Amino acid sequence: MKRILLLSVVSVLLLSCKQGGDGDIMYNDSLPLVTEGYVGLQEGHFVLDGEEWFPIMLNYKAFIRRVGDSLEVVPADYYHGNSIQEHFDTIASWGFNAVRLCLDVLDSDMDSSAMFRATRRTIQKADSAGLHVMLLTKTPVDPYWQSYTKGLLRHLADLPALWAYDFFNEPLYFDPEPERDKMDAARLVSQWRHWVRQYAPHQLFTVATAEPIEVFEWDPALLPVDFIEMHTYHPLRVFSEMWWYSQYCGKPWMVGETGLPADGDSVPYEWQAQFLGETYLWAEYLGAIGYGWWEFQDHPDGVNFEAQYTGLRNSQGKVKPAVKSLRGVAYTCNSYRVVDSNHRPVNYYNMLAYSNIRLTGKVVDEATGKPVEGAVIRGWNDDWSVGINTYTDSDGRFTLYSNDYNVHFEVSAPRMCKQKFDRRNIRYSNPQGIDTKNLPDRQREYQQIDYKPYLNHAKFSMDFDSSHFFHYSIEGNMGVVKLRPLKCK
């Protein structure tokens, strides 16, 4: 379809953040001293015993259960086989040098000291296989788990194989506090970081952020973590979301989770292998300091196709071809390099190829009037069933493509406040007289989008056919949104 240029009917909207003090937050950027045998951070990359170290990490789900008279860490019940040591040896043989041990589902009725010992034994098993461990633990938001976490840090502090702690998996989806204030999130993370420095002075600390709309509450640029661990899925989103983090998170970052589900039928295993190889190289190109895959083995009872088939073994324990793809990709550390913005993915501003409506606007700094680059704009249709994201360019301008009219909005940027508002009276131009009550694909969300038509010969790269991503028939203008910078001490 040919792109249609339309004259916009401008509806100016000047919105600014509510005033109020940011409050005190002790933002400590100091890193632990680089210590022999332990992984450290230096000049924006991981180091180990004087050499740059790049974690190639596989996510591994486990639980603490009673086995006989003791507590033990056991694999997820859908993993084939029951020996963690065997699994770790297998993971190392595939070419991984790290695991993210997902041990965040815990029972408060169990003895804490026995849980510490079980976790310690598991990390030692990983060490014997040649793997370093990022430990995802229970998020310490209530007094019991805060006390548990401090004890865990003390008990494991002398384990060099324990490379980093992850205190929260994807707060965007799992934060128990709705509408958390950005500064509240930063204060909480600052407290956690203080514990790590006090009780585990040789280990690093992170929080696992999800897609860029984390910036609305758990702003990756504002969180006082040692490095950012980001998660991203779906071929039409991965490259754009990795790009945003590389440009705007403001600190060293790595991919903690990505994956392509492949069942060998509707999605060939070869596509998964291609996806792993290309996202790995894209992470290298963008200056990521690590790469992680979800997960060890398929989960046949997962909540959706993505959850069921992202493993590197199928549900019978058979290895998928993606493992060979990993072995064939050589990584060269590039010391936190940020690439030229001219090479951003072609679908960066319209990740999902929406084609009915184009809504434009601008985001500026409230104090200076200067444009804000890298701001995230989120729009929802009237019944909140479909959400769409885009970003501002270097001039602070944005273009939000959608298939339905957006009514609800959130806007924020790294280290800036958030605006949340409704707009029901935006004026749109519709010279073609399109039937606005019967717009095509109004409920189109990314989970239902078939990415196959956008692939270039089954390659999962940023080199999509650009003609898919710049269509629209109806146009409106939202005006100017003002954001206030947030300050930390």
Output the pLDDT for position 126: 98
Cα Rg for the chain, rounded, in angstroms?
A: 23
Q: How many CB atoms lie within 10 A of CB 197?
A: 17
Output the pLDDT for position 16: 52
Output the pLDDT for position 10: 37
Q: How many CB atoms lie within 10 A of CB 174?
A: 12
Output the pLDDT for position 450: 82
**What residues contact residue 180 under an 8 Å CB cut-off, 6+ apart?**
171, 217, 218
Is pLDDT above 70 for 21? Answer: no
**What residues contact residue 57 under an 8 Å CB cut-off, 6+ apart?**
96, 97, 98, 99, 100, 134, 256, 290, 291, 292, 293
Positions of E strands within 19-169? 39-42, 45-48, 51-52, 56-67, 70-75, 98-102, 132-136, 162-169
- What is the C-alpha separation between 186 and 205, in angstroms, rounded? 14
Higher pLDDT, 18 or 207: 207
Confidence band of 82 (pLDDT split at 50, 70, 90)? confident
Output the pLDDT for position 6: 34
SS3 81: coil
Amino acid identity of 83? S
Which residue from 62, 481, 46 is spatially nearest to 295, judged by alpha carbons? 62
The per-residue pLDDT for range 229-251, each reduced to its tens digit, is 999 999 999 999 999 999 999 99
Which residue from 431, 424, 397 is spatially nearest to 411, judged by alpha carbons? 397
Q: What is the pTM of this model?
A: 0.92
Please report how many Cα atoms fall inside a 13 Å half-sphere around the Cα of residue 253, on the Cβ side: 29
Instruction: Provide the H-helix boundaries in 72-111.
Output: 84-93
Domains (range + CATH), the chain: 14-21+349-483 (2.60.40.10), 39-327 (3.20.20.80)
Output the pLDDT for position 431: 79
Q: How many CB atoms lie within 10 A of CB 318?
A: 11
- What is the C-alpha separation between 262 and 318, in angstroms, rounded? 13
The per-residue pLDDT for range 287-337, each reduced to its tens digit, is 999 999 999 999 999 988 988 999 999 999 999 999 998 887 765 544 445
